[in-house]
Structure 1
Amino acid sequence: MNEQELRKRLEALKSEHRDLDTAIAALVETGREKGYTDQLQIARLKKRKLRIRDQIAAIEDTLLPDIIA
């Protein structure tokens, strides 16, 4: 992938990460209102969110390599 494609992918992943944050918060809030939460669904979303965070970090490392001074 070239730099432009990496930046597009990075933005898409960040957007998905924010969306997952919103979805998790909504599930927790809905669970409070109903008196139970779908822990399995929340765990799956959190796991996906962690995988996305790792992908974001990998792309950022590629775009901004370490500079040894």
Structure 2
Amino acid sequence: VDNGIKWRAMPADFPPWDRVYAFFRRWRDHALVREFHDRLRGRVRQKAGRDVEPTAGVIDSQSVKADAVVGADS
């Protein structure tokens, strides 16, 4: 995906794009997208024999340059 999902370009075996988008919007509005991500990350890390929660992070030079234009909550 180059810059986000193209909702109208969903694969043919998915439901209509507007139904998929409605589910996504509902999950996003109830913070479920973040919860799904965190649970999946925890399972993958646990299966790999690592701690469920990461203990370090990486910040690259592009992230540092963007600090003036990217909101703190992101």
Q: TM-score normalised to the size of structure 1? A: 0.33
- Structure holding more helix per residue: 1
